[in-house]
Structure 1
Amino acid sequence: MTIPNLITILRLVPVPVVVLGMLQARWEWAFAGFVIAGVSDGVDGFMARRFNKQSRFGAYLDPVADKLLLVSVFVVLGFAGELPLWLVVIMVSRDALIVCAVLLSTVMAHPVEIKPFLVSKANTAIQIVLAAVVLGELAFALNLDPLRPALILLSGVLTVASAAAYLVAWLRHMSGYGESSKPGT
């Protein structure tokens, strides 16, 4: 257990605080918890790289912690009417698609290693900014139009592009595309 992994595990603690804050319209709590989780994400990543404490466990746990927070925030904001439901549906569907593809390939004894594409990193970054903007607007009674609608549209486009990139990569992997084959086999 490394310090970066411990920070990642502790990053799961603000998730219920953020969700409860949103459900009770305590937007300041939600925003503060979201910011704390975001800062700790940066800290654990920096520490892991700087002090060469990267681990396989951390490589799996970090995106799980990120997705747990983002999916929770998007779902609650969607049901609160602060984000369009179509965006929430495609975001959750993309993540479910990736999880199902990994599980299916593992069950079929052809496991796939998911490495984030540039479009997926951009997608996650825009989703984080969008969630922060919406929570910030609600916490501080701001109106950041036209920023929110632009972020919603960009997030939707990047989510679909990311899902397509993962689907194509998974289909190539499952069909054996790019695998070297020995002569005579």
Structure 2
Amino acid sequence: MFDILRNSISRYIELSDDEFEQFTRPFRFETFKRKDRVLTEGEYCSFEGFVVNGCFKVYYLNENGHEQTLYFALEGWWITDIDSLINHVPSILNIEALEDSEALMISKKDKEELYKSIPQIEKLFRMMNQQSSVALQRRILSLTGKTADKRYLEFLEKYPGLEQRLTQQLVASYLGITHEFLSKIRKKTSLGK
């Protein structure tokens, strides 16, 4: 269960076996059934979660009440509402399991304690936050500056094989288009192959 976490963090830092055991001690292993909510809009987010198995969607409801998916979190990804967690404000995000899933959850308090006991952990989360900021910037640029066709192709590249695990409605929500328009794009791209 912790192997996937160790492999993930090894891209950023190296921990001894003792440090890794100390690092993982405060994590809680949790299972989620399909459609379970990990976080609901209006709640205060008090965790960060590392996805061990399964898939989650992180989304909000726009002013028309339609879901807008920010990202999908697969194995090796993290889930949280960073604004709510850091600033202790009610979440505007929802996090939901799209299939039976497993995650390692850590509280903000426990993470802060790890910063003190293992200085490398602060570097780890700083580097991961930088990568997250880059991904967010790319997502914004894609949504505001690219056609739906190009966003769809980027989605396929970013999440290989995920389209088979999702409904067309979920993919459309991520792309910011209707599922009818997605059907047209899919048809067009399959004809172009």
- TM over 0.5: same fold? no
The TM-score, its normalising length taken from structure 2, stands at 0.32
- Structure with bigger helix share is 1
TM-score, normalising length: structure 1: 0.33
Which structure's residues are more often strand, by fraction? 2
